Structures are given as C-alpha cells and as structure tokens.
C-alpha cells in the first residue's frame, strides 16, 4: 500500500520562495542586458571612419602687414588642437582677440564639435570667422581623397 503524504506549507514560506525566484530572474535579466552589446555601439564605431590623414598641418594668415602661421594637429576624424606658431608680442598687442579666439575654437574642436558647428562669440565673431576659414583650409589639405 502506498502511503499518502501530506505536506503542510505555511504561506510565509511560499511568499519568500516567490520573492527569491523573482529576484533570481531579475538578476539574470540584468546580467544579460549589461553584457550584451547594444546595436547603437556598433553603429557609432562605423561613423568613426577615417576622414583625414593624421598629422600636423600649417597655413598662413595675413593680418595687415603681418603673416602668421596657423598650425593644427589633426587625427583621422577631427582637429585635436590648433595654435599660432610665430605670434610675436607686437602682433599680440595689435590683435589682442587673436589668441583667446583661437583657444575658444580649439577647445570646441578638441571636444568633438565639428568645424561647421563651432559656436562663435559675439565679441570675437570676425576674428573667429577668419580663424575658422583658415582651419577649414587646413582640413581640406588633410582630407582623404
């Protein structure tokens, strides 16, 4: 004869078991979401295709009687930095907005802003436009064909 077993479960044990099962499932889903690569990440890497030849490029800017050399370091996708090479104290005194304007543009470009989206300040608008056109010329030299 078979013995009939009667198991008595308290409601508290059933609730605790359900909570632990739900937490286990939630933990497994969280681990899957954390370690599964998203589709956005793969599309971002394809947007980072090389556009320019990496290197340091120079161009000349004429201000009155003075010719300045603008130098920019370019990697495959953007300008990393820019500086005026032969900026003397006399030129800096005559054109005091030149250095701050270039620093503002260079900081925007090095942070990943494209040259078309650089925000010009109202005080240095014309100086920054001159510098941006020179930087665009540099990028045209660096562009891959």
Please report, for residues 59, 98, 127, the alpha-carbon distance to residue 68 in angstroms, rounded to integers and kept in the order given.
8, 11, 13
Q: Residue 127: how many CB atoms within 10 A of its CB?
A: 22
The verdict on residue 1 lying in a domain is no
Task: Please report the pLDDT score of residue 10 as a whole number.
Answer: 83
Same domain, 67 and 105: yes
Q: Same domain, yes or no, for 88 and 119?
A: yes
Q: Is the pLDDT of residue 46 over 80?
A: no
Question: Does residue 3 form part of some domain?
Answer: no
Expressed in percent and rounded to 5, the helix, strand and coil fractions of the chain are 50, 20, 30
- Mean pLDDT for 102-110 is 88
Q: What average pLDDT does range 52-76 have in this prediction?
A: 88
| pTM (two decimals) | 0.63
The total number of structural domains in the chain stands at 2
Flag whether pLDDT at 37 surpasses 70.
yes
Are residue 18 and residue 68 in the same domain, yes or no? Answer: no
Q: Quick check: 5 pLDDT over 90?
A: no
Which residue, chain included where needed, has tokens 């370091």?
A: 73
- The answer to the question of residue 69 being in a domain is yes
Say if residue 34 is in the same domain as residue 83.
Answer: no
Residues 106 and 81 in one domain: yes
Please check whether residue 20 lies inside any domain of the structure.
yes
């Amino acid at each position: 004869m078979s013995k009939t077993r009667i198991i008595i479960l308290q409601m508290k044990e059933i609730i605790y078991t359900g909570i632990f099962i739900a937490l286990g499932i939630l933990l497994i889903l969280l681990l899957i979401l954390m370690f599964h690569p998203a589709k956005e990440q793969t599309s971002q890497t394809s947007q980072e295709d090389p556009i320019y030849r990496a290197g340091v490029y120079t161009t000349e800017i004429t201000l009155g009687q003075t010719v300045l050399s603008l130098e920019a370091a370019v990697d495959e996708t953007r300008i990393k930095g820019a500086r005026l090479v032969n900026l003397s104290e006399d030129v800096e005194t005559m054109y005091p907005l030149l250095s701050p304007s270039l620093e503002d543009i260079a900081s925007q470009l090095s942070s990943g802003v494209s040259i078309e989206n650089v925000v010009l300040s109202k005080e240095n608008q014309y100086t920054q436009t001159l510098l941006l056109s020179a930087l665009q010329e540099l990028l045209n030299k660096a562009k891959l064909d």
